Structure 1
Amino acid sequence: MITSWDVIGLVYWLGIAYQAPRVLKRWSLITSCDPIQLCDACRDERREVIHEADQYEVWGVFGAALMVVLGAARSCYKPFIRASRRAFGKESLPTCSKGSCLAYTGGKAAA
């Protein structure tokens, strides 16, 4: 018998499976660019991703997969984090400037 928690869990894990390729693409873009050519928000995200990768490196391949799953799970909570920061009167977290940032445009770094 399928319960409501089974359906919620299925939807949650399908959402994570849907977000995982997007997270990998984003991380690939921000880690392959020169930090000087990134906006402040993407530079902070790059530093966080690299620091987190160093922590999960001990676990080998399982650590990399776990990092992707946790990153995809976190992306589901971003709208709630923004709303809660706004509700408590805190400043919003920085977002990508999108205009000149190579991580947004996906352009190749200048040689």
Structure 2
Amino acid sequence: MITSWDIIMLVHAMGITYRVPRVLDRWSLITSCDPVNLCDACRDERRKVMHEAAQFEVYGAFGSALMVMLEAMAWFIKPLIPASRKAFRKERLPTCSKGTCLAHTGQAAT
């Protein structure tokens, strides 16, 4: 018998499955680009990813997979972050400039 908890877990697993390739593509673009060619928001995200990668390095090969899974598991929280920052009167997080940023154009570093 399928319960409501089973349906919630299925939706959450589908969200994770959908987000994992996107997280990997985004991190690949950010980490392969020269930080000088990135906008401020992508440079901050790159710094965060590199810092977290150093922390998860102690887990070996399992660490990078765990890092990606943890990032993908928070897919339902991402839309709530701007609203919660506004509610607590914190300034907005920087967003990608998209025009000149290599991480947005999708061009890998050469």
TM over 0.5: yes
CA distance in 1, matches of 2:91, 2:75: 19
CA distance in 1, matches of 2:31, 2:76: 22
Residue 69 of structure 2: aligned partner: 69
Cα-to-partner distance string for 1:50-95 (whole Å, 9 max, x where unaligned):
1101111111121111101111123431111111112222211111
Quote the sequence identity (%): 68
Residue 27 of structure 1: aligned partner: 27
Residue aligned with 1:14, SS: helix
Cα-to-partner distance string for 1:20-56 (whole Å, 9 max, x where unaligned):
0000000000000000000000000000001101111
Residue 92 of structure 2: aligned partner: 92
Residue 40 of structure 1: aligned partner: 40
CA distance in 1, matches of 2:100, 2:62: 35
CA distance in 1, matches of 2:74, 2:68: 10
RMSD between aligned alpha carbons? 1.3
Select between 44-53 and 71-80 the one with higher mean Cα deviation: 71-80
TM-score, normalised with respect to structure 2: 0.93
CA distance in 2, matches of 1:75, 1:43: 21
TM-score, normalised with respect to structure 1: 0.92
Equivalent pair of 2:19/2:75 in contact (CA under 8 Å):
yes
Structure 2 stretches lacking a partner, 5+ long: none
Deviation of the 1:96 alpha carbon: 0.5
Structure 1 runs, 4 residues or longer, greater than 3 Å off: none
- Equivalenced residue count is 110
Residue 59 of structure 2: aligned partner: 59
